[in-house]
Amino acid sequence: MVRRLLTFLKQGARLCKLSQRQIGDISSKFVSLSGKLPWESAQQPWSLAFPDRWKATELQQFLLYTGPVALCSVLRESSYHHFLTLTVAMSILLDSDDETRNAYNAYAEQLLICFYKTSTLQLYSSTAPSFLLTMSILLSTYQEMFRILELL
C-alpha cells in the first residue's frame, strides 16, 4: 500500500502527482537523514527516485519514521494530513504492547476508514488504489482476531 501511495505521488494523475522539484526535495531530505538513524534501523533511507526498489522494511520505515519528517514541508497540507492518518493508524496496529494496541484498535480502524474516504473522495479521485485501502481497513479487524501484524 505504501509503495502504491509513493507511485501515485511520483507518477499518478495531475491531482496527486508531485513535481520533480518536490521529489528532489524529499530525496535530499532522505539523503540528509542517512547515517543519522539509529543502528537498529533496517536500512538507511534511499532516494525517492526508485521506490519500486524499496523492500518491505524500507517502506515500513518510510511510513512510520522518515516519511512524516521528509514530507512535512513538501506536500500540500491536506495530503500531509492524509499521510499522517495512515501513519498513526499503522503505528497503533504495529504497537508491540498488546494492551495499548487493543485499547486503540477501534480508533485505528476509524483512522483507516477516514484515510480510505479521503483518498477516494478528495485526494486521488478514481485513481485511488481502492482494493489496497479496503484491505488496510480490514487489517485492524483481523489484527485483533489473528494477531497477524505481529508476524510482520
For residue 102, the model assigns a pLDDT of 84
- What pLDDT score does 130 carry? 56
Contact at 8 Å (CB) between 132 and 1?
yes
* DSSP tag of 1: -
| Inter-residue contact 89 to 137 (CB < 8 Å) | no
The pLDDT value given to residue 84:
93
Whole-number percent of the chain with pLDDT over 90? 5
Q: Where are the domains of the chain?
A: 2-151
Give the residue-averaged pLDDT of 138-152.
56
Least confident of 70-79, 103-112, 131-140: 131-140
The grid cell for 10 is 511520483
pLDDT of residue 82: 87
Dihedral over alpha carbons 124, 95, 66, 126 (to 10 degrees): -10
Average pLDDT over residues 108-119: 82
The residue with cell 477501534 is 106
94 or 144, greater pLDDT:
94
pLDDT given for residue 85 in this prediction: 92
The pTM assigned to this predicted structure is 0.77
Cell of 108: 485505528
Give Cα separations from 70 to 41, 66, 83 (angstroms): 17, 6, 12
Dihedral sign for Cα atoms in the order 34, 35, 36, 40: positive
Give the phi and the psi of residue 100 in degrees, each rounded to 5: -65, -45
Between residues 27 and 140, the one the model is more confident about: 27
pLDDT tens, residue by residue, 46-100: 677 777 788 888 888 888 888 898 888 888 888 899 889 989 998 998 888 888 8
Mean pLDDT over each residue of the chain, to the nearest integer: 76
